[in-house]
Structure 1
Amino acid sequence: WETRRVNAEDLGGFSDFFRAFFGGDSSPFGAGRSTPGGFDQVFEFGDRGTAAPRVGRPPEAHATAEVTLAEVARGAERMVSVDGRRLQVAIPGGVNDGAKIRLRGAVKPPEGGPAGDVVITVRVKPDPRFERRGPDLITELPLTLAEATLGAEVAVPIPTGSVKLRVRPNTQNGQEIRVPGRGLPKRGGSGKGDLVVRTRVVLPTLDDTARDELAIVLGKHPQADPRQKGKVQ
C-alpha cells in the first residue's frame, strides 16, 4: 500500500491555516511516513462540493473512510481502495462527520498529464450513548432514587471506556453535570471538550408495605410544592 506524508512546507498556502487550526508547526496527523513517489494529504474543513475538473487535469477519485466515535476521540488510520490501489489515510482526532481529506497526486496521471487527487470523505458511525455538540459529548445517566437523594459514585461511559463520577446528594432529575476534558479533541490542539452528563432519576416500583413506610418518612419531611413558589405551609 501507499502511505502519505504531511509537511507544512509542502502545503503552500495551507501552511498558516494548519498552524492556526491545529496549533504549532507539527503535522495534525502525527508522524508521517514517506514512500517513493509519496503524496501529500491535505485536511479540508467543511463540504466544498465537487469542483469541476480543470482542463488537462484528470478528474478526482473519491472514497469513504468510516470511523467510530472512539477513533474520533484518539485519531485513527484507515486503508481505502481507489482504482485497485490501497491507500493508507490518517484520520485526525476530533474530525467531524463529512470532513474531507485530499490526497494530492494519488491518482496516477495519464501519459504526459498531471496526477490527480483522491478525496476521502470521513463518516463517523453514530454512537447511541452520546449526542455530539462540537467537541462536547452529552450522555444520559440513569440514577436510582437512593443515588440521586443520598449521593453516589457511579461509572459514566466515554467513547474509549468509562470514568468515575461523584453524584452529589439531592441531585435532580434532568440535572446536567459537566466533566471537563472528557469530550473530543478540540481544533488547534487546545485540549478536549467536556462530557456533559444529564441525569435521569428512575423511581422504584414499591409494594404496599414499602409505600406505607415511605409515606411515613416523607410525611416527616414535607417537600415544597414544585409547582408553586414558596414552602409548604
Structure 2
Amino acid sequence: MGRLSGKKAFVTAAGQGIGRASALAMAREGAHVVATDINAETLATLADEGLETHLLDVRKPDAVAAMAAQVGTVDILFNCAGYVAHGTILDCDEEQWAFSVDLNMTAMYRVTRAFLPAMLANGGGSIINMSSVASSIIAAPNRYVYGATKAAVIGMTKAIAADFITQGIRCNAICPGTIDSPSLEQRMRALGGGDYEKGRAEFMKRQPMGRMGTPDEIANLVVYLASDDSSLTTGAAHVIDGGWSNV
C-alpha cells in the first residue's frame, strides 16, 4: 500500500520536468493519476507507464470545464502549468504580460475553480500550486513578470487555504529554485546569448550547494503534500531551492 493508494490525482503540464516526475511519483505511491498536457508526444510516454492521459490546454476555459466534468472528483490537484518569461519590465510588452498572467495565474484559477466543488462535496482534498522562489520570497534578475505572477500564486494559495480550511481542503504552494529540467535549457541559452555552457555557468553561480535541483526532488515534496503525511499543513509556501534564498 502506497501513501496515495485509493486517491485520484489530476496534474497539469505533466509531459516533462517537474510535472512528469510528480505524476510518476504519485502513481508509484498508488494514486490513479490523470496526467494532462498540450504535448501529445510526451503524454504518450506517460500512457506507456500506465497513467491516464488527456490533451488539455489550460488556457481554454471550455476545455478545462469539459475536462473537470469528464474526470470527476479528484483527491489531489497539482497545478503545474506555467511559463518563465525572460527580461525586466522594459522587456515585458503587453503581449508577454498577458500571456504570463493567463498561463501562470488565470489558468490556475480556472482549473482550481473547475475541480474544487467536487472536492468539497467529497469531503476535501489537497491542492498543490506551483510557484517559485522567484516570487514574493526573493527577486531574480530578468524575471519581472514571472516573479510577479508567481508571487500572485502564493497569494492565491493562501486565500484558498483560508477560505476552505474547515471544509477539508488543504492548499499549499511549492517554491523551487533552479531545477535542471528541459525548460531550463532555453533559459540557460538565453542567459548565455545562445551559448548553453556560458548560460549554465551563470545559473550555477547562484547555487549555494554547487548544484541544481532535480525534478524528482520536487516530486518528493509533491507526494508529501498530496498525502496524509502533511495533514496539518495548509496555506504554506514551501521553499525548496538548495539555500538560494537564505544562505
Q: TM-score range by the shorter chain?
A: under 0.3
What TM-score, normalized to structure 2?
Answer: 0.21
- Which structure features the higher share of strand residues? 1
- Which structure features the higher share of helix residues? 2
Higher relative contact order (CA 8 A, sep 6+): 2
